[in-house]
Amino acid sequence: MTMSPRPRHLTLALLWPALAFACGACDEDKMAATYDHAVSQDAAAHQKAVVYCAVQGASQPDRLRAVAAQIDGVDPASVRVSSEPAALSFALDKSVQSPEAAVAQMHKALGGQVKLVVIKSVDPVAGR
């Protein structure tokens, strides 16, 4: 028996949150790889968010670090990079731009070789 298209899309939509939830540990592992308590404390004190990203594709940690430090709103001293698991984090002044916009600016600077996916943005006002 085949399903009509509308119920099939509905089934996938119902499944999607569960699939995303199933990858949660990978996300926390990537956060742990670049977590720096001093950065978290400093960001909270200066009303900045700490943005955690997964890195996909071949990346050179030094280049990633240099590019991230140049992005508008990013605190250069807060950039942390991990090779394994491949991850990146930084403190961001969200009044300058959003995490997604900051990542888009990084993509442009990196020239498409590397993809960054925002895992979590920890906002000191709203909590985790």
Partner 1 sequence: MRSKQRYRVYAAGLAAALVVACTTMGTDPYDMSKMDLKPRPAKITNERHSGPFAAGSSLSMDAVLKPLSPEPVKEVRLDTTHKIIDLAPGVKFSAWTFGDTVPGPVVRVRVGDVVKFSMTNRSDEPVPGVRVTAAPMMHSMDFHAAMVSPQDKYRSIAPGQTMSFEFTANYPGVFMYHCGTPMVLEHIASGMYGMVIVEPRGGYPTKVDREYAIVQSEFYTKPDPDKRQVGGVPLQVLDGDRVRAKVPTYTVFNGRYNGFVDNPLPAKPGERVRLFVLNVGPSNTSSFHVVGTIFDRVWMEGNPDNQWRGAQTVLLGSSNSAIVEFVIPEAGGYVMVDHHFANASQGAIGIISTGAAAAAETEHHNIPATAAPSDPVAQRGKLDFESKCLACHSIGGGDKLGPDLLGVSKKRDTAWLTSWLKSPEKMLASDPIAKQLLEKYKLPMPNQGLSDTEIQQYIAYFKWADANVQPQGKMQPQPAAAGSALPPSETKSAAPIKE
Query: Shortest Cβ distance from residue 66 to partner 1 (Å)?
Result: 24
Q: Residue 125 interacts with partner 1 (CB under 8 A)? A: no
Instruction: List the interface residues with partner 1, window 74-93 (CB under 8 A).
Output: 84-85
Q: Using CB under 8 A, which of 13, 14, 25, 45 touches partner 1?
A: 25
Taking the alpha carbons of 105, 110, 114, 120 in that order, is the dihedral positive or negative? negative
Residues 55-74 that bind partner 1 (CB under 8 A): none
**What single DSSP character describes residue 97?**
-
Residue from the set 35, 65, 97, 107 that interacts with partner 1 by CB under 8 A: 35
Helix (H, G, I), strand (E, B) or coil at 59: coil
What are residue 127's DSSP bridge partners?
Answer: 123
Residue with the two structure tokens 């930084």: 90
Beta partners for residue 91, in sequence order = 50
| Interface positions with partner 1 (CB under 8 A) | 21-26, 28-29, 31-33, 35-38, 40, 84-85, 127-128
